Chains A and B, each alone.
Chain A
């Protein structure tokens, strides 16, 4: 690599070699299992001189394509090679505007830039895009750095969903800042949801429902995963002025009262969809980012159809289990994998069931201390002992596990600790945890097969996060849980209000 970084910004040099390195040496026999025993992380060694702050990833033309905050798109050949190999990096397009979303269709790569959704094609098959075509540029942009745009994959109707960050934390200085818009196949823009603050990623669940992550700040007590139901208001009224421009989603919702609670305001504001999952601040992370769903039917392990969400500050990927209660998504989040090289931003599954995580910590620090990184996560075939799902019940929770439990420890209430808290729903920045309670776990019934535990609880709190520690629970094989904590966002208690 004698080349200058600037030289590399030209498109004429295909086939730069990038090494694929194992981040960790082969695991030695250990007393306590670690994450890498189950999900092995391989870190790409990126060429020196290239700054690849990855904001979007897609599987495109049998290659891994990724986009960067500097505005470039690269493709990687042999990205799925089993071991260190001859993965090749090709510049596909240079000089776009901070691409935070890639998807593909019919040989076109679709890129969400700050100011537009574009599609790119390499017509002469030399590895470089020749056509950069604007699909839709109908949202406003002022030049404020905060006005990011994150684009989804295609939905079942061929639309790309774009979440548009506010101008700063509070304001919306150009049309549809603070909204989610859908870009149709013919380039039209349909304003779809309001109330967005500062997204970090967007993705669909296995049913094609679209979720995005929003970040702690005004009207967001902590970071969360939110369901983009068309017509919904996601909670931050900063962009509501744009209801005046569109009739696609009805009239402007009632303003929430600052200083209240989400589930106090929600019944008064029918459009308000409460966050499906809160990620408790500094416990799960600080900057929720990319969203991806495991639809690999087991290639990635036991968490089929669950959502995986990055956290930029903690350099992690978290795991989410959702259920539908009272017509709204809600559920639990669990720690999943830590130790990514930089601040996790883009999360993407490839057809082989690998997860790719692209990172950057420019402008926002991260635990992973590399300025940018591309990491690959693969299931080793060993099933970790984890809480598989956490579901709410009228009188408690039902936990399922990835492996049969040791009945004694799992049925002992002393093995668990449960507390609850809420966040202030307010226009000021963030919120501490408030309204703490400690419900009582009265008894536990472990299922016949040992895969489930039913917790009977007195004192469930609607609208609270239920933080459950299961430190005492052992697997039948005598292992502790790889991650023993779960955070369930109990917006609604199932069956508690039959009128709904």
Chain B
């Protein structure tokens, strides 16, 4: 396929510029339709080539063909050769058709070309073989029963789309007209013959439940997605007749009593199918059938029709959807016992469109067409085997159980029967004791009593080489271990590491994105080089354990392989990848200041991260790349710092520009252009996750209030303040919220003031947090109180109870509001004005003026309540970063005390001539 290949190289080398080499199998695509040998994609792609590392290829097969389930491994090999657990067969009868089972057992390789399941009856005489297979089939059939169903065409279409986009075709062959089956495709066999729609749906919902080995990973599909994909596989499946019908003609506006009428025809139908009608108007149909319910419980039935319909169960009407109407759905719940129930659906059509849908759900049964469980008679139809009716034979089943143990089925497959694991009685040499390396399973021709895998020559040779290496000692370094695991789980189908693997040309078109302009970066899963250096341990473990969906633009999903299967990668990847090389700079600014810088960087006037990265619920302004608020959880800080200088080094071809290209600051007027400081600021900001301030430029619906020449007052519901908040934004860039319920200066912050859109759109529900940075939450509660002594606790009664009354505010000549309130007989004004700080910090100066007609004994002002208050030269430091300076007559008498789990700063209030002032300066 030179053309295709050339096209592919074009993408890789020109557009993506990813300088790694994609290795792929030597198979010609067209020739790979029906593999002769067991397909292990990692092997076929990497080792079935000339000059392959034969020992490694063999090691891969030893796990993937599950050799160690029979041939016990010992020593260091034991930990490297974790068996690939075969499907659990506990309830295989409720998952798989009996007929298929029998065929598959008889010839796994022709039923499912490429299967890794060996033929266990090779070399046996035909009679013995048939007997053993029949016995095994009976044994397995008793684990459950299966009901047919078909999907609707909309589900098939959706399923086709899902199948070809979420990553199924990374390992499996695409199923599209005109698309050849790529080599190295994990075979399906005849899925629609094997499963029922329901059992395949259940399997798709969580493949790990029956296939814990993780080779088929869990995509965590919801019910609908799983059923859609299953429906796609059942697109051509026609099921046998399962309802009786009698057909009538006449014009009935309501469902007539069909029992008294003479039918025009009658017969059996597949489902409640109006296709049995002979004309499109003026007809009626009575459908009858039997349902076999496995459990007693509450069942819900759904009856939709155009025109009238009625549903009865056991002769009792439970849904009446009668009359002439467009398609209309009704439902009813009814409690039913386990066992057989008769159902009857009567339908009549007058004119126009006609439709009928009958569905149900119940204990353990998701909503589905009722026809998936109906039968034409009370007898649940027996499964047919080889054209004959399958009649369960208990003695055959008993023999089958013995066979299951003796020929080694139980060595690979878990099967719990009558609450007991069926144990294998098959005996095989230990792996290390295998010396005759072209005999037994490795023999070219089938050997009687030995599983036959139909191995290719390359497979046999390499397995032999691996077995030999057991004696000489193989390389089990972390590098090898990683490589083996990535091959076992076919991670290489999507990812590259060490220039191995990556999307194969034949599958490339199925890797798609919602963000076409992101190019290949938006659709091709990331390279795994250095992945443990990049991702935090917690995040990487999460991915291995559960899968991940961090890249909103990428349609291919990273499914769950399971920690039990791939969890060991974590330590191995860390051993190989982890680098710690960055020395994080000390910084002198308070964290809140640094975060403000970080927020500035993230915003449109800084480095513009938000142009491509989403931020929690906010969409990015350009492409929609990974959410900034999860970055600090995902990424190792050390890696992040290195990445910021040169993203291309870590993600060749990425669109991500270097925020600090080659360690140079592009924004030089912030933090003196110091790169280390700037990166620290960015990281500190990201560390706040969803609690971080919203970067500038992100909320297109925002109504950002900007005080430009005079202050802006905004009275509304402010987060962290009572519903009587009065926010004031100042042109100087520092802002406050005064709480008119507690007479306290509640919040102060800097930079952006507030976004009014929450309150000014729609009905305006909710409290709005300040838009800016460096929000400091000051003391709440009454500002003044008379205390018996300095140990008395600060009163917590409401301000009204303590005689406070808010009086409003007056604007001074700069139109700054000066708040006024009374505290008993004391009149208070509270003037808070922005102040220029010598320390380049945000700053407010505040003057409280008190007037009282008579002295008040024991009156204190509570200037602060914080987790800690340090007395430093000339003032106080609250919580380590709020500098508070007091002045006024009594400033020198300030007391720091512990009270109620907080540190408080109290100031005695002394009146002189009925008046006193307290001045405070906040710098933060």
Contact = CB atoms under 8 A, between A and B. Distances in A.
B800 A6 contact: no
B815 interface: yes
A74 to B, nearest CB: 15
B724 A130 contact: no
B807 A141 contact: no
Given A113-B715, A134-B808, A145-B763, A6 B706 contact: yes
A365 to B, nearest CB: 11
A181 to B, nearest CB: 15
Contacts of B707: 10
A61 B267 CA distance: 90
B765 A132 contact: no
A7 B810 contact: no
A12 B763 contact: no
A9 B760 CA distance: 14
Given A11-B815, A137-B740, A138-B800, A131 B808 contact: yes
Given A142-B723, A143-B767, A363 B715 contact: no
B826 to A, nearest CB: 17
Given A6-B705, A11-B815, A94-B713, A51 B724 contact: no
Given A115-B723, A363-B763, A7 B800 contact: no
B710 A132 contact: no
A143 B705 contact: no
Contacts of A130: 810-811
A378 to B, nearest CB: 32
Contacts of A142: 723
Contact of A363 (B740, B764, B800): B764
Contact of B709 (A10, A116, A132, A363): A10
A116 B714 CA distance: 15
A95 B723 contact: no
B806 interface: yes
B700 to A, nearest CB: 15
A71 interface: yes
Contacts of A114: 723
A432 B762 CA distance: 28
Interface in A308-334: none
Contact of A12 (B710, B715, B765, B800): B710
A51 B760 contact: yes
Contacts of B723: 114-115, 141-143
B724 A132 contact: no
A354 interface: no
A200 B762 CA distance: 17
A134 B715 contact: no
Given A6-B705, A137-B724, A95 B713 contact: yes
A97 interface: yes
Contact of B710 (A10, A137, A141): A10
Contact of A7 (B708, B716, B820): B708
Given A70-B760, A145-B765, A10 B808 contact: no
Contacts of A134: 740, 805-808
A118 B811 CA distance: 15
B704 interface: yes
Given A6-B706, A115-B723, A95 B712 contact: yes
Contacts of B807: 133-134
A35 B623 CA distance: 54
B715 A9 contact: no
A362 interface: yes
Contacts of A363: 762-764
A6 B712 CA distance: 10
B809 interface: yes
Interface residues of A, number: 37
Nearest to B721: A143
Contacts of B708: 6-7, 10
A131 B815 CA distance: 11
Given A9-B705, A11-B815, A138-B800, A133 B761 contact: no
A87 interface: no
B706 to A, nearest CB: 5
Interface in B703-751: 704-710, 712-717, 723-724, 740
A423 B724 CA distance: 38
A146 B763 CA distance: 8
B100 to A, nearest CB: 57
B724 A362 contact: no
Interface in B853-882: none
A344 B707 CA distance: 32
Q: Which of A115, A129, A363 has the most CB of B within 10 A?
A: A115
A131 B763 contact: no
B419 to A, nearest CB: 53
A94 B712 contact: yes
A109 interface: no
B704 A6 contact: yes
Contacts of B800: 138
Nearest to A146: B763
B705 A132 contact: no
Interface string A340-382: 0000000000000000000000111000000000000000000
Interface of A: 6-7, 9-12, 51, 70-71, 94-98, 113-116, 118, 128-134, 137-138, 141-146, 362-364
14 contacts: A9-B712, A10-B707, A10-B708, A11-B710, A12-B710, A70-B756, A71-B716, A95-B713, A97-B715, A97-B716, A134-B740, A137-B740, A141-B723, A141-B724
Interface of B: 704-710, 712-717, 723-724, 740, 756, 760-767, 800, 805-811, 815, 817, 820
Given A96-B713, A134-B806, 5 more contacts: A71-B716, A115-B740, A132-B809, A145-B763, A145-B765
**Closest A-B pairs by Cβ, 7 of them:** A95-B713, A363-B763, A97-B715, A133-B808, A145-B765, A134-B808, A143-B723
